């Protein structure tokens, strides 16, 4: 197994957990994971006072233009985001969150959080949740943008190489 395969295998359970936690709410709202990601990013950037666009969504995710467009079209049709044209370049769609979009995202995340909370044993629950949230936030901050990892975990190095290695881009 290659190093990249080992990394993906190590990350897969986290993605599966998110899938299990959010799937019921996504079905109720008629959303895909692509639309959920787009909604989260539009809201996140809107809260920072930044504009967000379909081309940016595509470049962040590697989606083809039609995939980013489809995810956003679903959100616009459901009144979860609004769409305007960029004054400088009429081809670019600028996206902004709506009140309804914020409410739906909150409902999806609240349901997922409640499911995760109830699935964790009571003994030490708060401590474990705080630690997990801290690790996930740190990972999100490190991975946001270019996918970068530091390989200090020797089992991720090829052929069990034990030399200390700095950050590498995959």
Q: What is the pLDDT of residues 155-167, one digit of tens each?
A: 444 454 444 444 4
Provide the pLDDT for residue 86: 87
Claim to verify: residue 37 and residue 105 sit in the same structural domain: yes
Q: Which residue has the higher pLDDT, 141 or 71?
A: 71
Provide the pLDDT for residue 76: 96
Claim to verify: residue 107 and residue 153 sit in the same structural domain: no
Q: Which domain covers residue 157, as residue numbers? A: 123-170
Q: Would the pLDDT of 44 be above 50?
A: yes
**Tokens 């897969």, located at residue:** 12
Provide the pLDDT for residue 117: 82
Q: What is the rounded distance in angstroms from the CA atom of residue 76 to the CA atom of residue 70?
A: 10
Provide the pLDDT for residue 52: 92
Report if residue 110 sits inside a domain: yes
Provide the domain count of the chain. 2
Claim to verify: residue 89 and residue 144 sit in the same structural domain: no
Q: Is the pTM of this model over 0.85?
A: no
Instruction: Please state the rounded mean pLDDT for residues 132-143.
Output: 74
pLDDT (tens digit per residue) in 74-116: 999 999 999 999 899 988 999 999 999 999 999 998 888 888 8
Q: Using an 8 Å Cβ cutoff, are 112 and 25 in contact?
A: yes
Claim to verify: residue 106 and residue 138 sit in the same structural domain: no
């Amino acid at each position: 197994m290659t190093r990249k395969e080992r990394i993906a295998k190590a990350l897969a359970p986290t993605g599966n957990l998110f899938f299990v936690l959010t799937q019921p709410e996504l079905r109720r709202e008629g959303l895909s994971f692509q639309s959920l990601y787009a909604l989260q990013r539009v809201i996140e950037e809107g809260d920072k006072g930044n504009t967000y666009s379909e081309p940016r969504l595509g470049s962040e995710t590697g989606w083809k233009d039609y995939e980013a467009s489809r995810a956003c079209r679903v959100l616009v049709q459901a009144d979860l985001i609004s769409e305007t044209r960029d004054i400088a370049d009429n081809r670019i769609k600028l996206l902004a969150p709506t009140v309804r979009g914020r409410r739906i995202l909150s409902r999806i995340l609240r349901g997922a959080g409640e499911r995760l909370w109830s699935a964790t044993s009571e003994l030490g629950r708060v401590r474990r949740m705080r630690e997990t949230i801290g690790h996930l936030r740190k990972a999100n901050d490190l991975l946001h943008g270019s996918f970068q990892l530091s390989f200090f975990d020797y089992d991720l190095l090829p052929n069990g190489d034990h030399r200390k290695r700095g950050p590498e881009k995959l």
